[in-house]
Chain A
Amino acid sequence: MSGAVGREPVFPTRQSLGLMKSKLKGAETGHSLLKRKSEALTKRFREITRRIDEAKRKMGRVMQIAAFSLAEVSYAVGGDIGYQVQESAKQARFRVRAKQENVSGVFLPQFESYTQDGVNDFALTGLGKGGQQIQRCRETYARAVETLVELASLQTAFLILDEVIKVVNRRVLTKSSEHVIIPRTENTIKYINSELDELDREEFYRLKKVSGKKQRDNAAADAEILAARKKAEAEEAAGGVVAAEPETADILGEQEDNDVIF
């Protein structure tokens, strides 16, 4: 795999090694953050899914009870009140307001139901008969609608989370820091390290060579001096008389001077 992703086109210097190292660290941090975000969202998502399932079942029961209480009303009133109810509906008493909840930087709306006081469109409904049943029916339906609102907020959160998780997972994958950037950077670091080691070895070898040559030169120089000294001693011992009467050189005499070579 390391061969497939290649490496960055950099010069193998210590500076770029430092750059690459910080880049690797950044990529790893970023990747793990994204992954953690995705995991947190997925966890939340599963929880919401489970709660949707529960709420849907609950809704089935609640709506059944509500329908039953409506049947009670029709029985008590002795006729259809549908038309009357539809005509008298004017202002919504039962409203929702949306709140926000923050999950890993994703805003999930949450509906909250509330009833607006002082609005009652059905003051006259069931005035003749069945008023009590109608009152009970209204309460039952209000509870049912509360369940529905709860379910609606779960569902909205579900839809939004679904979308966000898709985006985040796509980023985790397509950014593919895991499969491209991180190995690539690692490769580059390896390459730079090996090149630097190579340079180190070369340098070491060169220094060794230099010092070896110096030693050889020194040894040779020592030997020469030693030899010259020995020769001088031997000459001294052999020609003591000669040495006693050293030939005084006539410096002003006709003599070939040695050429001075620098």
Chain B
Amino acid sequence: MASAATYKDRQLLAVIGDEDSVTGLLLAGIGHVTEGADAQRNFLVVDAKTETSQIEQAFQNFTQERKDIAVLLINQHIAERIRHSVDSFADPFPAVLEIPSKDHPYDPEKDSVLKRVRRLFGE
């Protein structure tokens, strides 16, 4: 069960998305770069050239290693590329949220949470 310690420090939102989504979200003010030598960004811009392994690594980093992220936003078409990791990630923290992007409208059929909803209600 989620105890207070697991989410007390989680204040940030993270984003993995295409350039437009990331730009917009950063304009909203979610961008954060940790101080110090190994500066870590809480966002990853994915374009056609980005390797899947890189996305995977960022996803693992945001979900497993960093303890200050409360919500991870990920474009749905990018989540689709690492669908296995997204589907198998079941922890409540951070909340992984699939968002639509400009070029890819939102498809509820693919959302891992909505899939679970439908499976639960046997539809």
Tally B residues with Cβ within 8 Å of A: 51
> Footprint of B on A, CB under 8 Å?
49, 52-53, 56, 59-60, 63-64, 66-67, 69-71, 80-82, 85-86, 89-98, 100, 106-107, 109, 111, 115, 119, 121-122, 125, 134, 137-138, 141-142, 144-145, 148-149, 151-153, 155-156, 158-160, 162, 164
Check A144 against B114 for contact (C-beta < 8 Å).
Answer: no
B54 within 8 A of A: no
- Which residues of chain A have C-beta atoms less than 8 A from B106's C-beta? 56, 59-60, 63
Q: How far is the CA of A69 from the CA of B111 in the complex (A)?
A: 25
B73 within 8 A of A: yes
Least CB separation from B18: chain A residue: A82
> Footprint of A on B, CB under 8 Å?
1-2, 4, 7-8, 10-13, 19-33, 41-43, 45, 70-71, 73, 90-93, 95, 97, 99-102, 105-106, 108, 111, 113-114, 116-117, 120-121
- Overall SS of chain B's interface: mixed
Check B13 against A159 for contact (C-beta < 8 Å).
Answer: no
Other CB < 8 Å A-B pairs besides A89-B26, A95-B13, 15 of them? A52-B113, A56-B108, A63-B100, A67-B102, A70-B20, A71-B102, A85-B27, A90-B31, A92-B12, A94-B29, A109-B2, A121-B31, A155-B95, A159-B113, A160-B92
Least CB separation from B112: chain A residue: A155
Least CB separation from A45: chain B residue: B120
Check B28 against A111 for contact (C-beta < 8 Å).
Answer: no
